Amino acid sequence: MPGTVDGDSGLGIPLGVGKPIPFVKELYRRTCGNPARRAQLVTALSLEMPAGHGELERHFLRPPVERVFGDRTDLEYVKDSRAGRLTPNIEVHEFFMETGDYFGNEQAQQNCISTGCTSAARYIAASGMNAMAQAVMAQAVVAHEAGGVLRLNLSSNLDVSGEPAERIAARGRQLLKIAVINRQNPCMPNSVEFVPGFFDMEVDDPAATHTVFGPPNGKVGTVDCAFGLHAASVEPGDDRLKREQRRRVRFINTTMNATLPDAACSDAPKSGQVVSGVGGQFNFVAMSHALPDARLLMMLRSTHDNKDGLKRSFAGSYGHVTIARHLRDIVITEYGVADLRGQHDGEVIKRLIAVADSRFQDGLIKGSQAHGKLEAGWELAERNSNKPPPALEDKRPPSADAGPLPDFPFGTDFTEDELHIVRALKKLKRANEHPIELAQTAQTAQVTVRSLREGMQAPQACLERLGLAEAHSLKDLFVQRLFADNL
């Protein structure tokens, strides 16, 4: 009968802000408590409020999280999925995951879906839910009056709500469509609006209205600014053409690694462990080659610095590919623009090496020559011997001469005191968990000894904010003093 689902359920919920959180939480709670009933959740980008890694970050983040996220709560299935403790009667399938959060998570890695944005609706209609007797779709909406008629607005991602409903109806299958009204969701125009009647059930409970997910704006550093300025230099200058049916459109995306013949590796390393997902990247690439005068701008940081040390982002070959080399076009690093369209492999490699980090350029040249992809004796022009990121301050294009670029051009939810603490915490990133390792360098050891000897103290309010007001161990004292010195 309309409004009910008997037996197992297959719940399709949209990505990001479209999730009806209270409804999903209640369904998940009841399914966990009833092992005889099975449930499959198909979704993407199940976001969770930041909690921080380590005690210092957790203490610091509590006040800004309360300010930014208000009364929003997290989804229990997200926490259980992260911890690998989903009950046997529940499966969660995501076609785009929060970047890096499920790396090494066996449950999530085995249940992830490899599909692009334009194929997601087809998958939702044809995969796990297709095998069930009934499927359930829920969508968070915002209600408003228009001409005396109550209208329901999907707020986001019509492509993973309306289209699956059409496909499932065309197959003659039952689909229970539930609208859960969140009065804080944004109203979007045109095709995301529905007159009541499209949904089988409309839930207008005050408990379903809550703050919409919106993380704080991050800092835009020198490398980020370099990317933006280089990308802007490739943009067409005629605003009229930009408005005419995507003429001379520029599709901009990012990748994690690239091979020198320029195959992009964006969603997984060579192990195949999914970092996030393909998302809309392939769709952007396909359109950039299908539309006249369109170009693809693939942005890539030339290096990655992590606990394993500094690594280059370019490689002669790689064990995973997201975008094949025959789809290459324009590559942008913090050091410049490499226009690759129409170029043969040898020239492509030369242009990519020219925008690589200078610490790895020599190795890339020798490796390419050893594999016969670059002629012996070729040398890089002196002007392309790029220096590490600090030198970017001296190489900023003329458009930046008006003055220093702001750290937060789009504003920030952090206070000035919090930003001051953030700068110190970045220097202390490893100190809380690895104090002995941190002290092994001569410079850090000198700073630590001086701090301990001189009894340097940070303001009491800062120490309380980070849970460092009292030192109960040598480790606590070490971190407390080191924080004071960096502050």
Can you give the pTM of this predicted structure?
A: 0.81
Task: Indicate which CATH number applies to the domain containing 168.
Answer: 3.40.1080.10
- Beta strand pairing status for 9-12 and 134-146? parallel
Residue pair 299/118 in contact by the 8 Å Cβ criterion = no
Tell me what pLDDT residue 373 has: 94
Of 239 and 262, more confident: 262
> What does the alpha-carbon distance between residue 328 and residue 333 come to, in Å, rounded to a whole number?
15
Average pLDDT over residues 402-422: 82
Mark residue 199 as left, alpha or beta (left: phi above 0; alpha: psi -120 to 50; beta: remaining). beta
Q: State the amino acid at position 157 in one-letter form.
A: N
The string of DSSP codes covering 301-361 is: -SEEEETTEEEESEES--S--SB-GGG--EEEETTEEEE-TT--HHHHHHHHHHTS-HHHH
Residue pair 53/102 in contact by the 8 Å Cβ criterion = no
Closest of 341, 135, 322 to residue 250, by C-alpha: 341
Residue 185 and residue 261 in one domain: no
Average pLDDT over residues 298-323: 87
Residue 193 and residue 268 in one domain: no
Residue 271 and residue 355 in one domain: yes
Q: Is residue 214 one of the residues assigned to a domain?
A: no
> What does the alpha-carbon distance between residue 269 and residue 478 come to, in Å, rounded to a whole number?
37
Residue 244 and residue 327 in one domain: yes
Residue 55 and residue 89 in one domain: yes
For tokens 């109203």, what's the residue?
187
Q: Is residue 120 one of the residues assigned to a domain?
A: yes
Tell me what pLDDT residue 416 has: 87
Residue 169 and residue 22 in one domain: yes
Task: Give the pair of three-digit tokens for residue 89.
Answer: 């009667």
Of 258 and 239, more confident: 258
> What does the alpha-carbon distance between residue 363 and residue 382 come to, in Å, rounded to a whole number?
16
- Beta strand pairing status for 257-259 and 314-315? parallel
- DSSP 3-state of 225: helix
Name beta bridge partners: 180. 140, 203
The parent domain of residue 325 ranges over: 222-400
Residue pair 268/274 in contact by the 8 Å Cβ criterion = yes
- Beta strand pairing status for 295-299 and 250-254? parallel
> For residue 8, what are the contacts with CB-CB under 8 A and spacing of at least 6?
37, 38, 39, 40, 132, 133
Residue 312 and residue 368 in one domain: yes
Tell me what pLDDT residue 159 has: 64
pLDDT band at 288 (very low <50, low <70, confident <90, very high): very high
Average pLDDT over residues 422-434: 67
Tell me what pLDDT residue 442 has: 42
> What does the alpha-carbon distance between residue 255 and residue 284 come to, in Å, rounded to a whole number?
13
pLDDT band at 149 (very low <50, low <70, confident <90, very high): low
> What does the alpha-carbon distance between residue 328 and residue 343 come to, in Å, rounded to a whole number?
10
Q: Number of folded domains in the chain?
A: 3
Domain end among 162, 180, 208: 208
Q: Is residue 2 one of the residues assigned to a domain?
A: no
pLDDT band at 396 (very low <50, low <70, confident <90, very high): low
pLDDT band at 134 (very low <50, low <70, confident <90, very high): very low
Radius of gyration of the chain (CA): 26
Average pLDDT over residues 449-454: 57
Residue pair 413/68 in contact by the 8 Å Cβ criterion = yes
| Phi/psi of residue 400, nearest 5 degrees | -95, 5
84: number of CA atoms within 13 Å, CB side?
9
284 pLDDT exceeds 70? Answer: yes
Q: Is residue 431 one of the residues assigned to a domain?
A: yes
Tell me what pLDDT residue 18 has: 80
pLDDT band at 200 (very low <50, low <70, confident <90, very high): confident
Residue 320 and residue 422 in one domain: no
Cα end-to-end distance, the chain, whole Å: 64
| Phi/psi of residue 109, nearest 5 degrees | -65, -35
> What does the alpha-carbon distance between residue 199 and residue 141 come to, in Å, rounded to a whole number?
11
Residue 302 and residue 332 in one domain: yes
Task: Give the pair of three-digit tokens for residue 136.
Answer: 């359930």
> For residue 257, what are the contacts with CB-CB under 8 A and spacing of at least 6?
264, 265, 269, 300, 313, 314, 315, 318
Residue 21 and residue 106 in one domain: yes
Task: Indicate which CATH number applies to the domain containing 230.
Answer: 3.40.1080.20
Residue 252 and residue 184 in one domain: no
Tell me what pLDDT residue 135 has: 30
Tell me what pLDDT residue 198 has: 76
355 pLDDT exceeds 90? Answer: yes
The CA–CA distances, whole Å, from 258 to 229, 267, 302, 317, 322 equal 21, 12, 10, 8, 10
> What does the alpha-carbon distance between residue 293 and residue 290 come to, in Å, rounded to a whole number?
9
Residue 85 and residue 188 in one domain: yes
The string of DSSP codes covering 154-206 is: --S-GGGTHHHHHHHHHTT-EEEEEEEE-TTSPP--GGGEE-TTSSSEEE--G
